Chains A and B, each alone.
Chain A
């Protein structure tokens, strides 16, 4: 089954497909995680793999989900779109997020916090939105869990890793940024050691 058919099947028939680049809008993912169009054009040159964008319209507001900066000139570009009524921003953005997280398995920290705030979805992704109150409450919860857990039972490498990272973050909150980078792109970690 082709990529476009898979996307269509996942989204449903109410999403319109056009073979052209998406309109200008705000991207669901942070800009630094979008692949440059030139990098994709080399791949397209080897076959006919299309670049897929999914777009929601909320009145004049356009939110675009795609993993490539628009628009690679040498690639076929498929854009799925759906219009939502003004006032349904939450549902519209949620549809894009569900696709990105469930189908493409995008790490949540790649989501654009401005879009989450606009759609009022920060309560679902408080760490992405960097709400200090929420972050502190999460840290407190994780501390309570770690206190309840008996020590010295699990000797596996993950427990050790969690313990080391927790100590690092406790000593220096700025270390959280480094942990986030690893979560965003675990392959980068592999590149350091393999």
Chain B
């Protein structure tokens, strides 16, 4: 039985040095063994997983996982399901800003098998995404979404900080999922995993840059 120190979201996390550290050498070896037909080493496998996130669960059948994240892994290995909830505990940044962007699912949800219920959750909780893409990309979603997300929205996160975005509102909810998306699109890494390895501290995630002019570009998404 493997005892990884992270949830299955790591399959969307492009930083190779974090994998053995969080999954353990044994699990990394097992993954490469199971995906030997597409990956010669860890770098190959990370590339494959990032490009084909909805196919990874197929090759994990029968994997025994325990530890703190066992329930997340059991749902993923057994059902191909990853929760749409946000994972990152964003440091509080006071702001009263409302963004007209409805993305209330985490990028980790890209790993979920696209059955009818999952598609409904995407359409219902991340309706804004479908203004930018006609359907959910099954292949290279990171590249597709990097092109699809409006630049002004991405600049908003870079200039004000991801935590600032996380504490803006969509109606009565916070935009914590959206902040995870923007962080992932910029870095290819997931913020909660960066927190786990202490790469993303409160300061670097909340720092307000000086790009005020770029912030003005995002005016179309700011409500009120």
Contacts and interface: CB of A to CB of B under 8 A. Distances in A.
A141 to B, nearest CB: 19
B115 A61 contact: no
B34 A117 contact: no
A114 B139 contact: no
A144 interface: no
A44 interface: no
A38 interface: no
B61 A117 contact: no
Interface residues of B, number: 26
Given A114-B113, A129-B139, A120 B38 contact: yes
B139 A132 contact: yes
Interface residues of A, number: 28
B61 A62 contact: yes
Contacts, number: 67
A88 B37 contact: yes
A61 B80 CA distance: 13
Contacts of B61: 25-26, 60-62
A60 B57 CA distance: 12
A87 B36 CA distance: 5
Given A114-B113, A132-B137, A173-B134, A119 B37 contact: yes
Given A60-B61, A62-B61, A114-B58, A86 B138 contact: no
Interface string A53-79: 000000111110000000000000000
Interface of A: 25-26, 31-32, 59-63, 86-90, 113-115, 117-120, 122, 129-132, 173-174
18 contacts: A25-B61, A26-B58, A31-B115, A60-B34, A60-B63, A87-B37, A90-B37, A114-B57, A117-B54, A117-B55, A117-B139, A118-B55, A119-B37, A120-B37, A130-B137, A130-B139, A131-B138, A132-B139
